Each structure stands twice: as structure tokens, then as C-alpha cells.
Amino acid sequence: MQFPLIKLKNASVVAESIDDNSTILDDINLEINDGEFLSIVGPSGSGKTSLLFTMTGLFEHSKGSVSFRHKRKDGTIVYLPLMTYSDYFRARVGFSFEEPSLYRNLTAKENLEYFFTLYRKKTKKAEEKTSELLSDFGISSLKDKKASELSGGEAKRLDLACSLVNDPKLLFLDEPTTNLDPLSQKLIWDKIKELNNKGITIIATTHFVNEIETLSDRILFIDKGKIIDLMTPEELIKKYSSSQEVTIETMFDDLSIMQGLISKELGNHISNLRIFEGKIILITSDARKLIDLVLDLAQKNRIGLVSLNYTRLSLDQIFYFSGMEKEK
């Protein structure tokens, strides 16, 4: 029998304010398994980071439960409430924020040494581990360079190294490649996958599915604080493989008119409609039929079409649209 590392049961997070209370996470049910690579994907403000913070005890859940696995001395497995034992839990996991948590006036080596002192690691072991981490992340030559002088990619690699000083078996990563160039992004994801291959469980958030499609065991898509989908990459592609995108460009004055007509007349033929960069974007399971209907609609209402095209959705687009409500 497999015992998950973390369990969330009907977990909700409500932000209380003087004027209003807003639900940040809504009825989340999730289990994290040993050794998996789970990616949490969604648009800005969808609840990705809130979910990550809730799983680490940085956010307190308002309803439901969040617990983690603990093995007693007699070998029995129990689940402890995370908020009650949050300090105990966080001392045993690694966390890397979107912005590197580095001391700018300390060198790369000094940053690592400082983080070792937080976990009361023995001096000799800390020295050996510091050299090992600097080497593993390809920043040995930067050990005497201040954090403020590092590039974005170098700082992120150092930050990841710092998240490993306590030898965690579970690593939380919040937007690990934000604002990095493509080469640095690849280097970071390759390193993260290497850690996963060594047995470290990875939970990472990102805006971009294409970055983690081939790395993830499961992908969780969240929007408006709710889990929309939780599947393997292969399952998601299979589920949405029939989805197609139809792009319509009209004369400027006809854009809003055409949008209204499509919502009213063709709503049963589309699963999503939005306006992007002056074009109408439709998601459908039968693009050819929809194109014929759009042409007829435009002709009957004397709307000038500049272009009309369709393509199959990429996995990135699948996630973008799967969490959006169909406009009518």
C-alpha cells in the first residue's frame, strides 16, 4: 500500500479583509506521491503559488485538512496536521521562491554557508556540502562573487543549491525559470529533473506548459482557485486532442458585432471564445464546420472578414483555454 507524502482534503483558503472575504483556494483534494514530478500550471492569479504555500504551511487553510506523512519509531505511518507541525515539516523540505532568497552582500559560498547554519549542520559537513553544491550547479568559479553581481540564471542556480542544504526529499519550486533566457531556463529544468531522477519529489509551479511537458509525471491545472485537471501529459493530450483553434480577423468596426453574433448564433459549436490582439479566437471540436458557419454568418450580416484560419491546439493552449469559461 502506498502512503502519499502530503494529503489535502477539501482544503480551502479564504483571504479575510475589512471589505470582503475572497476565496483563494476552493475545495482542493490532492495527494502528493513519493518521487513524482508534479507541475502546477495556470494563469496569473489562478492560485498556483497559494496552493504551493498551503502545502508548505506558509498559508493556513480555512477549511478542510492538510497533512503530511510521518513514520513513528515503531514503524507505523501516521498523518500529522501540517499547520500544527509546520516548523518540523519545513525543516525537512526544500523551497525555492520565484525571486531568489539570497543575501545580496554575501558571496555565493557565504550564502550557502549561512543557510547551513540555519539547519545547525556540522561545520566539516557544511564545508564539504558547500563545495559539492557549488560544483553540482556549475557555479564553483562564482563562489567568491557577491549575489548582487550574479546574472539571473546564476542567482537562480545558487538559490536552488541553497534549497538543498538540508538534504530534502521534497522540493517546492515557485516559478523557477521566471525572467530567465531560454538557455538558462533549460539548464534549470535539466537540473531539476536530475534531482527528481535521484529520488527527490518535485512540486513546481509555472506559467508555461511547454517547459515541463516532457519532465512531469503529472500536470495540475488550476484556475480561480479550483483544480481544473490533474492528469499525466499523455492523458491531457488525448483528452483535448480533438480541440482546434479558429482565428477570425474582421474589419475593425465589425469585431464586436461579429463577436456578439457568434456568441448568440454559434454558441453550441464552440467551447471558448475570446478576443486577442484584435482577433476573435474560437475553440471547437469541428473547425471545418465552424468555418462554414462563420462564413455564412458574416455574409448574411455583411461583415467583412480579413482572414479566417484554424490550427490544432498545443498543450500550452489546452491549459490556457481549459480553465476559461465559455463566453456567450
- Sorted by sequence, the CB contacts under 8 Å of residue 132 that are 6+ apart come out as none
Confirm whether pTM is higher than 0.85: no
pLDDT tens track for 61-91: 999 999 999 999 999 999 999 999 999 999 9
CATH number at residue 299: 3.30.70.100
Same domain, 81 and 199: yes
* pLDDT value of residue 308: 93
Q: Which domain holds residue 276?
A: 244-312
Q: How far apart are CA 137 and CA 154, in angstroms?
A: 9
* pLDDT value of residue 321: 60
- Helices 152-162 and 108-118 sit at what angle, rounded to 10 degrees? 20
Q: Which of 310, 326, 209, 208 is nearest to 274 (CA)?
A: 326
Number of Cβ within a 10 Å radius of residue 250 = 21
pLDDT tens track for 5-52: 999 999 999 987 656 778 999 999 999 999 999 999 988 889 999 999
Count: domains in the chain: 2
Q: Which of 131, 187, 128, 121 is nearest to 155 (CA)?
A: 187
Same domain, 251 and 116: no
Contacts made by residues 212-216, CB under 8 angstroms, sequence distance 24+: 212/37, 212/39, 212/41, 213/315, 215/37, 215/39, 215/189, 216/37, 216/38, 216/39
Partners of residue 201 on adjacent β-strands: 170
**297 within some domain:** yes
* pLDDT value of residue 58: 93
* pLDDT value of residue 322: 56
CATH number at residue 162: 3.40.50.300
Q: Which of 81, 222, 98, 96 is nearest to 171 (CA)?
A: 96
* pLDDT value of residue 328: 34
In DSSP notation, 33-94 reads: PTT-EEEEE--TTSSHHHHHHHHHTSS--SEEEEEEEEE-TTS-EEEEETTTTHHHHHTTSE
**326 within some domain:** no
Residue in the structure block whose three cell numbers are 531560454? 182
Same domain, 107 and 213: yes
Tens of pLDDT along the chain (328 residues) come to: 689 999 999 999 998 765 677 899 999 999 999 999 999 998 888 999 999 999 999 999 999 999 999 999 999 999 999 999 999 999 999 999 999 899 999 999 999 999 999 887 667 788 889 999 999 999 999 999 999 999 999 999 999 999 999 999 999 999 999 888 888 888 899 999 999 999 999 999 998 787 788 899 999 999 899 999 999 988 887 777 677 889 999 987 789 999 999 999 999 999 889 888 889 999 888 888 999 999 999 999 999 999 999 887 766 666 666 554 433 3
Domain-ending residue, one of 180, 203, 237: 237
Question: Which of helix, strand or coil describes residue 140?
Answer: helix
Q: Which of 202, 215, 173 is nearest to 36 (CA)?
A: 202
* pLDDT value of residue 326: 36
Q: How far apart are CA 275 and CA 257, in angstroms?
A: 12
Same domain, 298 and 253: yes
Beta-strand (E) ranges in the chain?
6-16, 21-32, 37-41, 63-71, 77-81, 94-96, 170-174, 201-206, 218-223, 226-231, 244-250, 272-276, 279-284, 305-312
Judge whether 172 and 101 are in contact, CB under 8 Å: no
**55 within some domain:** yes
Same domain, 279 and 173: no
Distances in whole angstroms, Cα of residue 181 to Cα of each of 11, 81, 157, 177, 205: 36, 40, 13, 8, 18
Same domain, 189 and 58: yes
Same domain, 187 and 290: no
**1 within some domain:** no
**320 within some domain:** no
**75 within some domain:** yes
Partners of residue 30 on adjacent β-strands: 8
Same domain, 104 and 248: no
Domain-ending residue, one of 237, 257, 282: 237
Q: How far apart are CA 5 and CA 11, in angstroms?
A: 16
Domain-ending residue, one of 237, 272, 293: 237
